[in-house]
Amino acid sequence: MRIGLLGGTFDPIHLGHLRAGELAREALGLDSVLYIPAHVPPHRRGPRSSARDRYAMVCLATAGHACFVPSDLELEREGPSFTIDTLSTLAGEHPGDELVLIVGSDTYPEMAGWRDPKGIFARCQVAVVDRPAGRDASPEAGATALPEGIHRVSGATLAISSTVVRSLAAQGRSLRYLVPDAVADYVEKRRLYR
């Protein structure tokens, strides 16, 4: 089996995350895509909502897609959520399966600074999903050729960010058509980001 791994803070998960997973699934023939919320993101400020709330939102967001699977793997581990640790655990749980790490074109250049980048590239394939215009970390990120063995995934992506979603929620504004309806309802009922 070919298993995609899409990790992140998911604070909250939005339609852009789901679209990226779908593009990678379709382009690379993935059997499933695991959505893995980070317990303690090592490369950014802590999330605004709890790990359990973020996991619940991932479960709600992925419930309608048979190939999307929420994973609480990183939530069960103490300390920072390092990708290399997650890959090591998943390789042990899925011997013989191909693991494909899915990252955005804005995140890919940061991977050199992650814990054990050589180990990451040795344990999985990497798929880089192009971000919408104006969302890349560098203007040439979408145009630069990727090294051999790194898959570029292009297609119709959505220019949505969790930062914008949190800002709208803080103002009491609608999140419809930015996040799945069940996630919008969850954010409202739990009064997240207020």
What does the pLDDT read at residue 139? 38
Query: What's the residue count for the chain?
Result: 194
- Residue 138's pLDDT band (boundaries 50, 70, 90)? very low
- Domains of the chain (ranges, CATH numbers): 2-158 (3.40.50.620)
- For residues 93-106, give the mean pLDDT: 96
- At 82-92, the pLDDT tens digits run 999 999 999 99
State mean pLDDT over 48-64: 96
Least confident among 7-11, 52-56, 93-97, 141-145: 141-145
Average pLDDT over residues 23-41: 96
Looking at this protein, which amino acid is placed at residue 177?
Y
pLDDT, tens digit (0-9, with 9 covering 90-100), for 148-194: 889 999 999 999 999 999 999 999 999 999 999 999 999 999 999 99
Query: How much is the average pLDDT of 77-82?
Result: 90
Please answer whether residues 97 and 3 qualify as being in contact, where contact means their C-beta atoms are separated by less than 8 angstroms.
yes
Confidence of residue 142 (pLDDT cuts 50, 70, 90): very low
Nearest to 110 by CA among 131, 95, 96, 133: 131
pLDDT band of residue 55 (cuts 50, 70, 90) is very high
- Share the mean pLDDT of the chain: 92
pLDDT of residue 134: 46
pLDDT of residue 116: 96
pLDDT reading at 135 higher than 70: no
- First and final C-alpha spacing in the chain: 42
